[in-house]
Amino acid sequence: MVDQTKSTSDSNAAAVAALGEPTRRRLYEHVARQAEPVSRDEAAAALGLARQTAAFHLDRLADEALLDVVYERRTGRTGPGAGRPSKLYRRSEREIAVSLPERRYELAGRLLAQAVEESEASGEPVRAALHRKAEELGEQLGRDASQGIIEALEHHGFEPRREGDAIVLANCPFHALARQHTRTVCGMNLHLLRGVLAGLGDEHFEARLAAEPGRCCVRLEPAA
């Protein structure tokens, strides 16, 4: 749930860049269309490429986790004398989305789905469940952050800016949802950021709703 050493957005951008090379993109699309894993020789023959060229680009796609590598014996033989398994490629289950400014719609969808499921199971109002789940996630993000509030907010796409003693957020990771479902999404975001502050143990700021055009609906004000 929490980003690792390389942020999701950086990793996705690198994967998209890898697909920018025309031969690599053709190989990826060819492998994706096949029902079974594809060998280097098969891919090279299908696209009219040298085997070495196909191998280089297939391995680059595997390095970016766009393809999975599996090893199989195509002859069906086993035991001594069966030969080495062939290196095969198949499309990975990785999903890639790159947006500028950064958006986190999957995170919002996950929180909303959890809130609906918990509401059905417990009878708790959906909005109350959403606020609770958002705050729990925020606390986890705060605990996992290695630096302070500015760095944590930057890491998750909020584009924080100092404005006097306050911190304003130049980007809303849930922008389109917030425009259409303002009360629901801004309330979720408010509790998410309250959780981040709690997880960081930051008592210098408190999250408040303060909607302004072109900014996130939440603002971090000096704590009373």
pLDDT of res. 5? 33
Give phi and psi for 86, each to the nearest 5.
Answer: -80, 145
pLDDT of res. 3? 42
Residue pair 135/127 in contact (Cβ under 8 Å)? The answer is no
- List the structure tokens of 115: 């809130």
- List the structure tokens of 65: 């986790």
pLDDT of res. 4? 41
pLDDT of res. 79? 53
Residue pair 131/185 in contact (Cβ under 8 Å)? The answer is no
pLDDT of res. 11? 74
Q: Which residue type does 125 have?
A: P
Average pLDDT per block of 10 residues along the chain, 224 residues long:
49 79 93 92 95 95 92 66 80 75 88 96 96 96 90 92 94 93 96 96 95 90 92
Give, for 208, the enclosing helix (H) or strand (E).
strand 205-209
Domains along the chain? Answer: 8-91 (1.10.10.10), 105-222 (3.30.1380)
pLDDT of res. 78? 57
- Please give the model's pTM, rounded to 2 decimal places: 0.67
CA distances from 110 to 38, 55, 119, 130, 133 (A): 34, 38, 14, 10, 10
pLDDT of res. 20? 86
- List the structure tokens of 218: 């939440």
Closest CA to 106 of 8, 33, 36: 8
